[in-house]
Amino acid sequence: MFITPSHLLEYLYCPRFTYYEYVLGIDRREEKRLKVQLGKDTHLFKEKINPGYLRKKLGAVKKEQEVELVSPSLNLKGKVDELLYLEDGTMSPFDYKFAEYKDRIWKTFKIQETLYALMIKQLYQVEVKKAFLCFIRSKSKIVEIEFTEKDFEEAVDAVNECLSIIQDGYYPQATRVKARCPDCTYRNLCIG
Ligand code: SF4
């Protein structure tokens, strides 16, 4: 079983999403359709980007595009938009977001990049100190995210918890953010 960034984002929003969707098999179709459309929009934008363009201002000396990352030992997989090889010998994930930059990095964006960083560290045996996000709807503004050891530890713990709900089928605690419940697809099923 592999955990993807999407699995983990759902888990972090509410651990019961993971249970309803992957243990009971009840899908959230409407939201998925929206995500697919957003994914298509981003893809169309990315297609226009010159594949030969190297972001030298960020210190890149080489890049790969659309890289599938798979780590059986971390139980993780995902696809990063670009993988940058930096002049200091480290590597960084680079991702496009079909979003505006609102002066802060959402936790969801950071966790996704942390998962890529964990896989890159392991698969390429290099240090990953930061990631870059390109906000398409803010004139392609590029924002840097720095990682700490704590970020990596928290991401590994979250992956293991998410995996354990799916594999062991235990019913997790509800999100502590009760404001998420009234509009939730699963509100009629959810107890306690
Ligand atoms: S109703 Fe609330 S606790 Fe239940 S799955 Fe939805 S968000 Fe989570």
Distance CA 61, CA 17 (A): 41
**Residue 177 has what pLDDT?**
93
- Ligand 1 pocket, mutate which of 24, 190, 191 (most atoms under 8 A from CB): 190
Atom of ligand 1 nearest to the CA of 181: 2
Tens digits of per-residue pLDDT, 86-115?
999 999 999 998 888 888 778 888 999 999
pTM of the model as a whole? 0.88
First to last CA, the chain: 29
Which parts of the chain have pLDDT scores under 70?
Answer: 29-51, 192
Angle among Cα 80, 83, 63 to the nearest 5 degrees reads 140
CATH fold of 5-50+61-180? Lambda Exonuclease; Chain A (3.90.320)
Distance 89 CA to ligand 1 centre (A): 44
User: What per-residue confidence (pLDDT) applies to 34?
Assistant: 56
Residue 44 half-sphere exposure toward CB, CA atoms < 13 A: 6
For residue 184, the CA-to-ligand 1 centroid distance in Å is 6
